[in-house]
Amino acid sequence: MSILTPEILTELEKQSIELPSWAFGNSGTRFRVFGTPGTPRDPFEKISDAAQVHKHTALAPSVALHIPWDMCDFGDLRKHAEDLGVRLGTINSNTFQDEDYKFGALTHEDAAVRRKAIDHHLECIEVMDATGSRDLKIWLAEGSNYPGQADMRARQDRLHESLSTIYAALGDDQRLVLEYKFFEPSFYHTDVPDWGTSYTQVAALGEKAMVCLDTGHHAPGTNIEFIVMQLLRLGKLGSFDFNSRFYADDDLIVGAADPFQLFRILFEVVRGGGLNNPDVAFMLDQCHNIEDKIPGQIRSVLNVQEMTARALLVDREALAAAQSANDVLGANAVFMDAFYTDVRPALAEWRERRGLPADPMAAFAASGYLAQIAAERVGGTQAGWGA
């Protein structure tokens, strides 16, 4: 019998992880963006690639868009997605690639620039109406590079004003999720650097505003699962941006740098009722600078699935008993036992039972899709950061 009980499989079957359209475009560092054959040249090709991930895993039924990178006829795009068995998801705004935003957008000194940035978000809400998306995700790439450059307090107040205006435009079933980030692209201060700031900002807006936790956006040594716990406890964990990092915000494949950390995060998700809870969206936000992008995304959603399975395997009763007894080694052993259990064979077998490939990575490689798009997608401009 499988180590994965029917209850666990029921949970796993419900799991869905949203893909970012931009993960299929080229990305890189400030030093160089390397290209790849077959990289999408428009939003439609990105959706086609994303659909491959879902086709082989049944884990990724929706795709997040980035505005203005993915501007197009959204009726057409929506139909294209649905034809391929996926749907359009979270809308991500962009206030970091326009000359006007060099010194801020929603926090800018100049009311005209703030207005422009607010209008961009209102436009994003219109896109959401067209795409049927629920969530507007705001990553605030604002801050300053030198001490004294900016009035951090005034910016915080202006941020509240700007967000309030955007919030007021949300539909009844729409939400705003506010991402925080420790540093980059600003190097001295960022206007939403930590969960506390995101939390206090969204709490001041209302129930439809939530925190987005990007797993790569913390100071070295931060206990991220603690924050997951706290935000679930406070009812304000709106979404995850999954990726991993060794140093800064590397945007590596989720689980690649510290699998045990991913396990601990997912355990807190399970413990706090965040799994398959519509309030908590699971998304990837990654770069594939040197590895192939579609397999990179397949690997990522599998990593999340496998680690969720391990988190579900934790013997919660035995854990609680050991915790109550202050049996340090015992409680840790219960926890580690689940982490060290190899769930992959059981998952492979379960996939096959559901008509999915046992090994999605191998199945995709065998499909010839990469060669096909490399041959077909010639000419045009490859999508990437900024397109």
Q: Does 72 bind its own copies (CB under 8 A)?
A: no
Q: Does 277 bind its own copies (CB under 8 A)?
A: no
Q: Does 278 bind its own copies (CB under 8 A)?
A: no
Q: Which is nearer to its own copies, 324 or 381 (CB)?
A: 324
Q: Which of 90, 289, 305, 308 touches its own copies by CB under 8 A?
A: 289
Find the angle CA(297)-CA(267)-CA(222) to the nearest 5 degrees.
80
Radius of gyration for the chain, computed over Cα atoms and rounded to the nearest angstrom: 21
CA distance 131 to 329: 50
Nearest approach, Cβ of residue 132 and its own copies (Å): 28
Q: Does 323 bind its own copies (CB under 8 A)?
A: yes
Q: What is the dihedral of CA 216, 40, 94, 304, to 10 degrees?
A: -30
- Please state whether 143 falls in left (phi above 0), alpha (psi between -120 and 50) or beta: left
Q: Which is nearer to its own copies, 208 or 218 (CB)?
A: 218
| Site string (130-169) toward its own copies, x via CB under 8 A | -----------x--xxxxxxxxxx--xx------------
**Sign of the alpha-carbon torsion through 69, 198, 246, 226:** negative
Q: Enumerate residues 173-232 that contact its own copies by CB under 8 A.
A: 182-185, 187-189, 193-197, 199-200, 218-223, 225-227, 229-230, 232
Listed in sequence order, the residues at least 6 apart from 41 whose beta carbon sits closer than 8 Å to its beta carbon are 377, 380, 381, 382, 383
Q: Which of 82, 129, 342, 349 touches its own copies by CB under 8 A?
A: 342
Q: Does 51 bind its own copies (CB under 8 A)?
A: no
Q: Which of 42, 126, 161, 258 touches its own copies by CB under 8 A?
A: 258
Residues binding its own copies: number (CB under 8 A): 102
- Give the interface segment with its own copies, choosing from 9-17, 74-82, 276-284, 312-320 (CB under 8 A): 312-320
Q: Enumerate residues 114-133 that contact its own copies by CB under 8 A.
A: none
Q: What is the chain's length?
A: 387
- Give the interface segment with its own copies, choosing from 16-24, 53-61, 171-179, 332-340 (CB under 8 A): 332-340
Residue ranges of E strands in the chain: 19-20, 62-66, 87-92, 135-139, 143-144, 175-179, 189-190, 209-214, 237-242, 281-284
Q: Which is nearer to its own copies, 239 or 303 (CB)?
A: 303
Q: Enumerate residues 88-117 that contact its own copies by CB under 8 A.
A: 96-97, 99, 102-103, 109
Spatial contact of 264 and 306, defined as CB atoms under 8 Å apart: no
Nearest approach, Cβ of residue 94 and its own copies (Å): 9
Q: Does 250 bind its own copies (CB under 8 A)?
A: yes
Q: Does 361 bind its own copies (CB under 8 A)?
A: yes
Q: Enumerate residues 3-42 that contact its own copies by CB under 8 A.
A: 27-32, 34-35
Q: Does 79 bind its own copies (CB under 8 A)?
A: no
Find the angle CA(180)-CA(186)-CA(191) to the nearest 5 degrees.
40
Q: Which of 257, 270, 363, 387 touches its own copies by CB under 8 A?
A: 257
CA distance 133 to 239: 14
Listed in sequence order, the residues at least 6 apart from 105 whose beta carbon sits closer than 8 Å to its beta carbon are 95, 96, 113, 114, 116, 117, 120, 140, 141, 142
Q: Does 256 bind its own copies (CB under 8 A)?
A: yes
Nearest approach, Cβ of residue 219 and its own copies (Å): 3
CA distance 384 to 40: 9
Listed in sequence order, the residues at least 6 apart from 272 whose beta carbon sits closer than 8 Å to its beta carbon are 228, 229, 232, 233, 237
